[in-house]
A = this chain, B = another copy of it.
Amino acid sequence: MDAGAALFRTATAAGLEVCFANPGTSELPLVAAMDSAPGMKAILCLFEGVATGAADGYARMKGRPALTLLHTGPGFANGLANLHNANRANSPMVNLVGDQPTWHRKYDPPLHCDIERAIGGWSKWTCYADQPDKVPSDLVRAVEAAMAAPGRSATLIVPLDSMWADVAGPAPAPKLVPPRAVPDDRIEAIAAVLKKAGKAGAMMLEGPAMQEKGLWVAWRIAAATGCRLLADWSTSRLDRGLGVPVADRVPYFPPEAMAFLEGMSDLVMVGSHEPITFFGYREYRSTPAPVACVRHTLAHPNEDLVGAMEAVADLLGAPKKPALPPFPGRPARPTGKIDAQVIGEAIGALLPENAILVDEGVSGGRPSYLATAGAPRHTYLSITGGAIGFGLPCSTGAAVACPDSRVVDVQADGSAMYTVQSLWTQAREGLNVTTVILANQSYAILDIERERGGFPPYGPMARGLTELARPHLDWVALAKGMGVPGKRVTDGEALCKALEESFAEPGPRLIEAVY
């Protein structure tokens, strides 16, 4: 059997169904084999950062890896920034990267680079598949690596001579290992800590602990002890909205984070790390939790987070399904001139049930997060690694994973430009994504950080590096250029109407919210 066909049949047998692809000549045999595995869907992305970002969004929603198909070293390099975000979200992902035939590498042809070295720091598991008969089993090992808790990126570099080969056939399905159980003594110790700490205790959640089932278990502990449930500002996936126990994100800026965490005596990590400031500041600690707060670990990321919390809850005699406190109401439909607050209120007022709220609002995202606390049940995805250009691709992948949900991307304009090519894939695939561009025509976060950092006002050259207004980015034209219907709005009423229109029809829409 053709190696490419065996590779894709192995993938589908392992439960992989989607390949976000941006292939070149060195991946031609894999392209040609793409139709030989029923159940594998190839989705073309016009830039590799779209492919890796989409695989991240897909994995966050599905809990399973997508394939990416990338064109040698430079193609892989184009995908690194969103691979970084995916790594920080522990998103499982399997990258297929083509390479020159092994015998051609020594001539150092133009596209050649040392892919293994280049990939080293970025992919969390890598295999150079230069033994053709092992390509299918190499893929199985990649899937096993990607799926081992808490999830990671895995990369198979496949030289052309491995793709050209004939092999025996697909490899057997991967052996998936469940996450390790947390030992009893840790469970007992943490139960005692949380009981003693009461309202001064907190659990910092990640991964499965932030999905609906995990949050219910965490809430049992909170109901029994009074502890707070926290999530990192940079969080991979948080289920929330009406009827879902609340874990609240630590704010971005150090003073707000410190105030938020004040008075905390004990902080228990559940697959997470303690809050760390996003950047290092001269005037603030890197760790905004109180110095005197004791740090504990219930579960490491590769352990059974939800099982561990269940054991703690049972040990504490926590109620099985404690009542939830009342949720805030939805905001009224906003009126008047648009700003980040108005955008937040409009989304808060209108977000449909089971939506996926993707937040790359950067300086303007927080109001949308806060205003959706009382919205119907939804899932919140945020940028985990700070590598901007995350929102559009992540939305693309999330929409592929959940075709019955509406994805709403609260999207800073500057960041959107990095991976703007995503809109084309959204149009081609008819994905249910509403992109709300926060068109403030600036890298506003830099101006905010400048003021907070006590820098003097910029000179003209510096100011030019944070302004996007000269020339005006016309988002409706950009969207049209890639086949996505767009609308420019300047007040809350028009924004609400545009949101409702986008929710009523299938397929992608873009709303340029000017402020």
Contact = CB atoms under 8 A, between A and B. Distances in A.
A109 B286 contact: yes
Interface in A411-426: 414, 417-418, 420-421, 424
A420 B472 CA distance: 16
Interface in A445-463: 445-446, 449-450, 453, 455-456, 458-462
A184 interface: no
Interface residues of A, number: 102
A452 to B, nearest CB: 10
Given A108-B276, A109-B277, A474-B481, A417 B28 contact: no
A35 B417 contact: no
Contacts of A464: 42, 44
Contacts of A420: 420-421
Nearest to A415: B46
Complex copy number for this chain: 2
A121 interface: yes
A129 B424 CA distance: 41
B462 A42 contact: yes
A109 B276 contact: yes
A164 B110 contact: no
A25 B108 CA distance: 38
Contact of A44 (B388, B450, B465): B465
25 contacts: A25-B279, A28-B446, A28-B455, A32-B458, A34-B461, A35-B460, A40-B461, A46-B468, A47-B389, A49-B78, A74-B80, A74-B84, A80-B80, A88-B110, A101-B280, A104-B279, A107-B287, A108-B276, A110-B276, A117-B120, A118-B122, A160-B280, A417-B424, A473-B481, A477-B477
